[in-house]
Amino acid sequence: MIVEVNEDNKKDINKSNVSYKVFGKIIPEFIENEWKIKEELLDNTYEYEYLMEEDDYNDFINNYDKNIFLYYWKNECVGQIIFKKYWNENTSIQDFVVNNNHRNKGIGSLLMDKVVEWTKNRNLKGIMLETQDVNLAACRFYQKYGFILGGVDTIQFSNFKDHDQKALFWYYKIKD
């Protein structure tokens, strides 16, 4: 069940497991004005856990320009997507996670479908988000859903000494 954030359920934000298995990475290459993507699988896999920012989500409640959808499975919050209207006529996804034990069950697609509907209802042109090149499962999901790679940032994660990551920026065009 998908619900919008409200006073009663805002306590469930960030309760979904926010780790993912690193088993490969995206190798982007810009050729003839288009991003081409290759995958590189790793010999040694590892678990990566996000550091979650503690934001005040009260501003997302009943706000026309931003929202949070939470996915519940048997009264447990196992997924979330946090997003807002962005200046470039896109919806910007700030955070998107499905609990490890509930991945590959269609929950991510259902949450994304709700964001597409929200975006269309505001006459916005598309959806944008950022993820790491080492989050291969997420990159595969975005590609399968219809996102295209729009850019790569090689500096965003450079302050983390133990991480060799690139930020990938994905875009989804709303069809008329």
- Identify the pLDDT of residue 149: 98
Residue closest to 131 by CA, chosen among 48, 42, 32: 48
- Report the distance separating Cα 127 and Cα 42, nearest Å: 30
- Identify the pLDDT of residue 160: 75
Average pLDDT over residues 67-92: 96
Report residue 91: phi and psi, to 5°.
Answer: -90, 130
More confident position, 31 or 157? 31
Average pLDDT over residues 1-6: 95
- Report the distance separating Cα 28 and Cα 97, nearest Å: 23
Number of helical H runs and strand E runs in the chain: 2, 9
Out of 3.40.50.300, 3.30.950.10, 3.10.580.10, 3.40.630.30, which CATH number does the structure's domain 2-173 have?
Answer: 3.40.630.30
Lowest mean pLDDT among 9-13, 128-132, 161-165: 161-165
Q: Is 75's pLDDT higher than 80?
A: yes
Which residues, including other chains, have CB under 8 Å from residue 13's CB and lie 6 or more apart?
5, 57, 68, 70, 80, 82
On whether the pTM is more than 0.85, the answer is: yes
- Could you report the per-residue pLDDT of 36-68, keeping only the tens digit for each? 999 999 999 988 887 666 678 999 999 999 999
- Could you report the per-residue pLDDT of 86-101, keeping only the tens digit for each? 999 999 999 999 998 8
Q: Is 159's pLDDT higher than 70?
A: yes
Average pLDDT over residues 152-169: 85
- Identify the pLDDT of residue 54: 66
Average pLDDT over residues 103-111: 96
- Identify the pLDDT of residue 171: 98
The SS3 assignment for 159 reads coil
